[in-house]
Amino acid sequence: MNKDLFHSLEGKSIYFKALSTNDAQAIHDYASDKDVKRFIGWNLMKSLNETTEFVELMINRESAGTHLYASVALKSTEEVIGTVMIFNFDKQANQAEVGYVFHKDHWGKGYGSESLALVTDFAFESLNLHKLHASVTDANIGSARILEKNEYKLEGRLKDHYFIEDKYYDSLLFGKIQAK
Query: What are the φ and ψ backbone dihedral angles of 164, each rounded to 5 degrees?
Result: -125, 125
84-134 pLDDT tens trace? 999 999 999 999 999 999 999 999 999 999 999 999 999 999 999 999 999
| Pairing outcome for strands 95-102 and 131-137 | parallel
Q: What's this model's pTM, rounded to 2 decimal places?
A: 0.93
Query: Measured in whole angstroms, how far is the alpha carbon of residue 89 from the centre of its chain?
Result: 14
The dotted CATH code for 3-134 is 3.40.630.30
Which candidate, 40, 8, 23, places its Cα nearest to that of 104? 40
pLDDT at 39 over 90: no
Domain residue spans of the chain:
3-134
3-class DSSP assignment, residue 173: strand
- In this structure, of 16-25, 28-37, 45-54, the range with the lowest mean pLDDT score is 28-37
| 104, containing H or E segment | none
Q: What pLDDT is attached to residue 71?
A: 98
